[in-house]
Structure 1
Amino acid sequence: MKRYFGLISCLFLLWGCGLKSIPEWRTASFNHLEQYKKYFLTGREQLAAIHFQKAVNELKGSGNLSLLMTVYLTRSALHVAILEAPQGEEYLEIAKVWPSDDHQDYYFLLEGRFAEIQKSSLPTSYQDLVTTIEEGNAKRITETIRNIQDDLSRLIAIGVVVRHGVVNEAILTQAVDLASVNGWRKPLLIYLNRLKSFYETTGKRDQAEIIRLKIELLKS
């Protein structure tokens, strides 16, 4: 979706920029969503849940269904980033009464329903990702992910392809590096475990043992 993550501040704060001031609910919902993302990725689930609900409440008070869908899809995207299934139930309920092609295509991306996507509705980097997934070239997929500029968008892209069955050392290492440099403890541990499993299944037991020891140190 064109406004997700890299341009999410524009979506929340600059829509209606002709107004003399930004409505308080818009600023509050954006700030709560940013706090939700931070706490979710650092593994502080209770604080994440509090800020997510506050963002939802602000948007329900405004009646802005488009932004409300964005918040629900943001949650889905973060779950995909840590290799969990997207939680799209609330989004789908809103989409029944407020359909949006842009939101729908981003939802299809998170679900891995690539054949149903109108790629022009996605950011260029995600358009390229869908194309390479359809081609089935793992090396090209890895390169496409590496070219995504925004770190969180790149981690989400990794989640999409890994859940789709595209797993190699380069992709998993990218995820570990992204999580490490941003201090995202939750995905860091998840991808370290996936990298350990990858090394074990490919016979690289020395590398797997190094990763196992690193995980133990990080958890202690």
Structure 2
Amino acid sequence: MKRYLGLICCCLLLLCGCAAQSIPEWRTDSFNSLEKYKDEFLAGKEHLAEVHFQKAVDEIKSSGDLTLLMTAHLTRSALQIAVLETPDFRNYLEIAKADPADADEQKNYYLLLEGKFDSLQKDKLPKPYQDLAEVLEKGDQKEISQVVGEIQDDLSRLIATGLAVRNGREDEALLTGAVDLASSHGWRKPLLIYLNRLKSYYRENQNWEKEEKIRLKMELLTPHSGMRGKTGPAC
């Protein structure tokens, strides 16, 4: 279960465990619940996502591990940023008041998500996010798009894209990359959100032809669109 620890520190999306020993049931249950939360959230199934998230939080609370509890709430904040929503850090900040001794990575990840690049310790972040924090602080659009595109983990790359947009650093390549990424995974919620963002980008840049193509694509992908039921030409 080393991956269990690695990915949660990298993108705060999983929970940690130990490969050499038997895994406590609460760890397995919380891990599975967070995985289901991610899937339902990205699918746009808000109610189911919240049910799984609360189950994960309850399992973690049974262990008394505040650092892991902070991680779970930052997971949700990171996913909110990934789909261009305003992140809610209130639960994380309440837990942080207890000052868990081993929460440096969580603190620096929070500062990254908040966009406080000059306050965080970049060496406390996983390598992809160290580079991301540096280029976002510099504000070089070409470098930002390049660093985001080089992030190997797909969900981490979507979070990085959301961070770039949140900090006013977006271009066509960044947005189309997010659309392609969401499409390849079947992540309906970010797909529609980034298509809409891309449409707005084209409108702002007066690229009417591309804007219209995105508008038509979104119309076709929207439930209950006019295409429903049209299986062939009339006789």
Say which is worse superposed, 210-219 or 98-107, in terms of deviation. Answer: 98-107
Cα distance between partner residues in 2 of 1:79 and 1:9: 12
Q: Deviations over 1:162-218 (max 9, x none)?
A: 010001100001110111001100010000000000001101001000000000110
- Asked if 1 retains the 8 angstrom alpha-carbon contact of 2:10 and 2:125, the reply is no
> In the alignment, what sits opposite 1:165?
168
Could you say which residue in structure 1 is the equivalent of 2:156? 153
| Alignment match of 1:193 (pick from 190, 193, 196) | 196
The count of aligned residue pairs is: 217
Q: Which runs of 5+ in 2 are unaligned?
A: 226-235
Report the Cα distance in structure 2 between the residues aligned to 1:43 and 1:77, rounded to whole angstroms. Answer: 15
Give percent identity, aligned residues only: 56
Residue of structure 2 aligned with 1:135, choices 138, 155, 180: 138
Residue matched to 1:144: 147
Cα offset, 1:2, TM superposition:
6.3
Structure 1 residues 201 and 90, CA gap change in structure 2 (3 angstroms): same
Could you tell me whether the CA contact under 8 Å between 2:81 and 2:159 is conserved in 1? yes
Unpaired runs of at least 5, structure 1: none
Aligned runs of 1:20-39 on 2, under 5 Å? Answer: 21-39=22-40
Per the TM alignment, residue 10 of structure 1 is displaced from its structure 2 partner at its CA by 7.7
Greater helix share, 1 or 2? 1
* Distance change >3 Å, CA 10–CA 214, structure 1 → 2: closer
User: Partners in 1 of 2:121 and 2:7 — Cα distance?
Assistant: 16
Distance in 2 (CA, whole Å) between partners of 1:182 and 1:89 is 30
Task: Detail structure 1 runs of 4+ shifted over 2 Å in the superposition.
Answer: 1-14
Could you say which residue in structure 2 is the equivalent of 1:111?
114
How far 1:85 moved relative to its partner? Answer: 1.6
- Report the Cα distance in structure 1 between the residues aligned to 2:187 and 2:122, rounded to whole angstroms: 29
Tell me if structure 2 keeps the 8 A contact 1:172–1:194.
yes
TM-score, normalization by structure 1 = 0.94
In the alignment, what sits opposite 2:233? none
SS in 2 for 1:203: coil
Whether the aligned pair in 1 keeps the contact of 2:78 and 2:159 (CA below 8 Å) is yes
Tell me the CA shift for residue 91 of structure 1.
0.7
2:179 aligned to 176, 179, 182, which one? 176
Question: Aligned Cα RMSD in Å?
Answer: 1.8
Which of 1 and 2 has greater Rg? 2
C-alpha contact (below 8 Å) 1:5/1:152 kept by paired residues? no
Q: Using the alignment, how far apart are the partners of 2:89 and 2:10 within structure 1?
A: 21
Shift of 1:98: 2.9
Greater RCO, CA 8 A, separation 6+? 1
